[in-house]
């Protein structure tokens, strides 16, 4: 968008039909985030992102794990890529996970 600041995102939707029971499973995922290229040093990158890697829209009962209890796993990531040279970099990251395994009753990780 502008030097030193970018916005990114993605969305996906999947559908499958289960044979021979003729039922469907639908899932979706999304991610949004901001990035800060050259933060602190040329070639470095800071990023903050929020992702829902798999939200079950339909067919939860057909997942082996049961698909949770209706919650949607969400994750927040803050990371920083700091190149030391052209072959080595430091990459600290922080993750917060909400509704682990799609159970909204589980504690945040």
pLDDT by residue (tens digit) across 24-82?
A: 989 999 999 999 999 999 999 999 999 988 888 888 787 776 667 767 788 999 999 99
Domains: count for the chain: 1
Q: How far apart are CA 30 and CA 26, in angstroms?
A: 14
Quick check: is 108 in a domain? no
Q: Count each helix (H run) and each strand (E run) in the chain, helices first.
A: 0, 6
Quick check: is 30 in a domain? yes
| Ramachandran region, residue 53 (left: φ > 0; alpha: ψ -120 to 50; beta: rest) | alpha
pLDDT by residue (tens digit) across 41-55?
A: 999 999 999 998 888
* Cα separations in angstroms, 6 against 19, 71, 96, 102: 44, 30, 22, 30
Structural domain that includes position 29: 6-16+23-102
Q: Rounded to 5 degrees, what angle do the CA atoms 25, 30, 36 make?
A: 165
Quick check: is 63 in a domain? yes
């Amino acid at each position: 968008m502008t030097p030193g600041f970018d916005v990114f995102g993605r969305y996906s939707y999947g559908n499958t039909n289960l044979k021979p029971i003729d039922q469907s499973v639908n899932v979706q995922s999304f991610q949004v985030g901001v990035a800060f290229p050259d933060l602190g040093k040329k070639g470095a990158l800071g990023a903050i992102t929020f992702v829902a890697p798999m939200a079950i829209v339909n067919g939860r009962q057909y997942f082996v794990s049961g698909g949770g209890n209706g919650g949607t796993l969400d994750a927040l990531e803050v990371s920083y890529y700091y190149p030391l040279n052209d072959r080595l970099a430091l990459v600290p990251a922080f993750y917060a996970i909400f509704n682990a395994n799609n159970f909204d009753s589980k504690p945040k990780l």
